[in-house]
Amino acid sequence: MPANNITPHHSGVSADARRKITGSVPAVFWMSGLSGSGKSTVAVQFERRMTEEGCAAFMIDGDTVRTGLCEGLGFSPEDRHENLRRIAHLAKTMASAGLTVVVCTISPDKQSRDTARKIISEAADFYEVYVKASVDVCAARDPKGLYKRAFAGEIANFTGVSAPYEIPENADIVLDTADHTAEECAEQLVRAALNGIYRPAELVRSMLDAAMLASAKIMEIYDGKYDVSFKEDASPLTTADTASNEVLTTYFREKYPAYSILTEEESSAADLHGMPERLSNNAGVFIIDPLDGTKEFIHRNGEFCVSIGFASHNRVYAGVIAVPAKRLLYYAAEGHGSYKISFDEISENVFDEANRIRVSDRTGTTGEESDKLIITASRSHGDKQTEALLDLNAGRIADTITAGSCLKGCLIAEGAADIHYRFGSFMKEWDTAAMQIICEEAGGIYTDGAGNKVPANRADPVNHGGFIILNRPESALELPAPEKTK
């Protein structure tokens, strides 16, 4: 059929819609290296780990493809080029479906690798991965017995022995399988893939920008008159709460249409089955408290915050807390640390080591005054259990700082305080999501009241049983005996 009679028909499903299902973005990791370098071994581990992370991934193995799509092609330069061209189009199609694809093929020459990049880059992120291992290392492994036969002259055009291999000069990723295990190399690829999916620097910068926009709106209202009403649970709601919520939800819906939103001031959107849409969205969800510390806002003590968490696959991945009255920003992203800056210090390099914060090393276990613990307690929500806890552990405690909203966790993250215990079930995950990742990335520990990890984006957002923040495991306090019921 003449080419001018062919009309490609493109999919009507958007990349954002696919991402909500696959949890991945279109990406291809094109692995190149000698036979025996470990490409397939690493790829199997990578594919498994990405699936564990909740991201759809698929491996295309060069030998396997030659049993079907590329059956009949030999190993001449021309056949090898055609083999890789077909694999590139296969990878492009699979990536277009919203998958993270890893290709294992020798790809011995720069021309073929460049052709693959050109084909795939039209539809997906392309990463050239050099799986580094010398001929001697690969020949010593010789898992298929091919090198022995190649050195004996039984196999013609064998790459590295009787056919050339052009080492990638500017590979996007280098995996040194001679010095690192397959698991270590797979984890290196996983980190690169997750960074490509979530783009943490860009994500955090956007969250910072949104937090400052909301802060400006809050301070505009804070300095004037505003209305106060009360919700069904008797908690206050001000004009600032709703105005900040409007700023944040509008910003994130426009900039990140693939992500859902869980916010204190709105009911969650429902899917076709009437369930919260956010629960089935594998791309991610922003967890927002547009004005954390409404009582502090009303009391005009400045201890109120804008709290924005981002979660994916039931764990918090990034968080930003803005303190509008103090013009401070606390933020973190998984694997990148926690930071503190002023509104005036924000820059493109959000992960500047100079702004990094860490928890203290106090534990209250040495008996020395300098090692005694500094406790944070709620300014607006005191309770008898907390009082009993402090009395029981008085000998380990140097001071108790009362603070409003999620500032308590921020103080622990920057080392100004050490631990916080919150009893009861009135806190929701929009109160704590950003604080959780900021404390954890600063080196702290965040658990529920029983010491268990806390999943994010739950069907029930209530933090049942309270939560605990520790700077160190050794800092945990002795809990008072529960009161006997009468």
Residue 243 one-letter amino acid: A
Of 7 and 312, which is predicted with more confidence? 312
Q: Contact at 8 Å (CB) between 291 and 404?
A: no
Long-range contacts, stretch 378-384, CB < 8 angstroms, 24+ apart = 378/402, 378/403, 378/404, 378/408, 378/422, 379/296, 379/301, 379/303, 379/403, 379/404, 380/293, 380/295, 380/296, 380/404, 381/424, 381/426, 383/423, 383/424
Give the CA diameter of the chain: 89
Please give the pLDDT value at position 482.
72
Provide the token pair at 325.
């009255």
Cα(452)–Cα(397) distance, integer angstroms: 24
State the pTM of this model: 0.91
- CATH number, domain 24-198, options 3.40.50.300, 3.60.150.10, 3.40.50.720, 3.40.640.10: 3.40.50.300
Please give the pLDDT value at position 18.
93
- Taking only the tens place, the pLDDT of each residue in 460-477 is 888 888 999 999 999 999
> Which pairing describes strands 285-292 and 305-312: parallel, antiparallel, or unpaired?
antiparallel
Query: Judging by beta carbons within 10 Å of its beta carbon (0-12, 13-18, 19+), is residue 192 exposed, middle or buried?
Result: middle
Question: pLDDT-derived band of residue 111, with 50, 70 and 90 as boundaries?
Answer: very high
- Taking only the tens place, the pLDDT of each residue in 176-231 is 999 999 999 999 999 999 999 999 999 999 999 999 999 999 999 998 888 888 88
CATH architecture of 369-475: 3-Layer(aba) Sandwich (3.40)
Nearest to 372 by CA among 382, 361, 387: 361
Please give the pLDDT value at position 379.
65
Q: For residue 249, is pLDDT > 70?
A: yes
Of 173 and 35, which is predicted with more confidence? 173
- Taking only the tens place, the pLDDT of each residue in 425-441 is 678 999 999 999 999 99
Strand partners, 191: none
Please give the pLDDT value at position 327.
97
How far does Cα 406 stand from its chain's mean position? 21
Q: Catalytic annotation on 107?
A: yes
Cα(244)–Cα(252) distance, integer angstroms: 12
Q: What angle do CA 348, 351, 357 make, to 5 degrees?
A: 135
Q: What angle do CA 348, 349, 354 make, to 5 degrees?
A: 140
CATH number 3.30.540.10 given to 200-355: yes
- Which residues touch 163 (CB under 8 Å, ≥6 apart)? 75, 108, 157
Which entry of 24, 37, 107, 112 is annotated as an active-site residue?
A: 107
Of 235 and 483, which is predicted with more confidence? 235
3-state SS track over the chain: CCHHHCCCCCCCCCHHHHHHHHCCCCEEEEEECCCCCCHHHHHHHHHHHHHHCCCCEEEEEHHHHCCCCCCCCCCCHHHHHHHHHHHHHHHHHHHHCCCEEEEECCCCCHHHHHHHHHHHCCCCEEEEEEEECCHHHHHHHCCCCHHHHHHCCCCCCCECCCECCCCCCCCCEEEECCCCCHHHHHHHHHHHHHHHHHCHHHHHHHHHHHHHHHHHHHHHHHCCCCCEEECCCCCEEEHHHHHHHHHHHHHHHHHCCCCEEEECCCCCCECCCCCEHHHHCCCCEEEEEEEECHHHHHHCCCCCEEEEEEEECCEEEEEEEEEHHHCEEEEEECCCEEEEEEHHHCCCCCCCHHHEECCCCCCCCCCCHHHCEEEEEECCCCCHHHHHHHHHCHHHEEEEEEECCCHHHHHHHCCCCCEEEECCCCCEHHHHHHHHHHHHHCCCEEEECCCCCCCCCCCCCECCCCEEEECCHHHCCCCCCCCCCC
pLDDT (average), residues 126-135: 95
φ, ψ for residue 72 (rounded to 5)? Answer: 100, -15
Question: pLDDT-derived band of residue 265, with 50, 70 and 90 as boundaries?
Answer: confident
Where are the domains positioned within the chain? 24-198, 200-355, 369-475
Conformational region of residue 168, where left means phi above 0, alpha means psi within -120 to 50, and beta covers everything else: beta
Please give the pLDDT value at position 160.
81
pLDDT (average), residues 128-144: 90
pLDDT (average), residues 389-413: 91
Please give the pLDDT value at position 61.
92
Please give the pLDDT value at position 441.
98
Please give the pLDDT value at position 215.
97
Q: For residue 451, is pLDDT > 60?
A: yes
Please give the pLDDT value at position 382.
64
How far the first Cα of the chain sits from its last, in Å, is 87
